[in-house]
Amino acid sequence: MKTKVLVTGAQGQLAQTLKELYVADDNIDFTFTSKSYLDITNSEEVNTFFIQNSFEFCINCAAYTNVEQAETTPEAAFLVNAEGVKNLANACKLNGVILIHISTDYVFDGKKQTPYTEEDHTHPINEYGKSKLKGEEYIRKILSRYFIIRTSWLYSKYGHNFLKFVMGKIQNQEQLKITTSQIGTPTSCNDLSEFIIQLIKQNISNYGIYHFSAMGETNWYQFALQICKHFNNYDCNNIVPVKTFLSKAIRPNYSILDNYKAKLLFKKDVYWQMSVDKVITDLSKK
């Protein structure tokens, strides 16, 4: 009997990665939905959809992720990242579904100098982070069976992300100015997908909040240089380090996540450089 899994946000990079890697899995029956098919901000629509289907898990990849725009129109971010999440949590509770929700390092203010644990005090400093934290709070209030996975600096070969942005600039022989002021860990959607699938397949019942990112730490400038190593016809000196950049949203200066809890379940050492290299190699094959 296959495990029935709903994946929201089908057009996003994480959902597309899950689809590529696991849609042919003999043990899981996936249903991928985009906003045009299932609008998570419509509670009635969500409830009807859950009643009509018998899911065991819901992986919520739907999110408002435009950090800059969220400063101007925070209501749009809160509608998806908070109210939409509340609708999913209520539907999961009514139908006995386990929710796997993707959250962010941006729930922290970045003032700490050691990796953030799941128990650390949250204090988001931009509207995007606040909306994601509100979604977490709804889940914790409504559900007892849930996994909130906080991750950082997600990238993949799909959609819009930093890796693909830098690759595009390099391929067009453009100069780049990249900040050095933020410390974090790039995380591949490939690795995060593997962790999520492991939660499902191993029937993990130790519910709660988990931090998941690759191993190691870097800044955006060094991340860009790691990408640049793959392009021999581009002078990496054209990538210029800068301390700050113009931004509406304040971003955490330090957002390393402590992965101790996740590593108890996911016994695999994944270093960010190796994962970046793999995604670039996969993109080069296209």
Query: Would you call 210 a catalytic residue per the annotation?
Result: no
Q: CA 76, 82, 87, 91 torsion: positive or negative?
A: positive
Q: At what angle do helices 85-95 and 127-142 cross, to 10 degrees?
A: 20
Burial readout 63-86 (b: 16 or more C-beta within 10 A, e: otherwise)? bbbebebbbeebebbbebbbbbbb
Long-range contacts of 14-19 (CB under 8 A, 24+ apart): 14/61, 14/102, 14/154, 14/156, 14/189, 14/192, 14/193, 15/59, 15/61, 16/156, 16/158, 16/159, 16/189, 17/156, 17/158, 17/189, 17/190, 17/192, 17/193, 18/59, 18/61, 18/193, 18/196, 18/197
CB 100 within 8 A of CB 59: yes
- Work out the burial of residue 274: count CB atoms within 10 Å of its CB; fewer than 13 is exposed, 13-18 middle, 19 or more buried: middle
Active-site residue among 22, 64, 116, 128? 128
Give CA–CA dist 27/4, Å, rounded.
Answer: 9
CB 238 within 8 A of CB 177: no
* Helix (H) / strand (E) containing 120: none
- At 10, give phi and psi (nearest 5°): -60, -25
Which of the residues are catalytic? 128
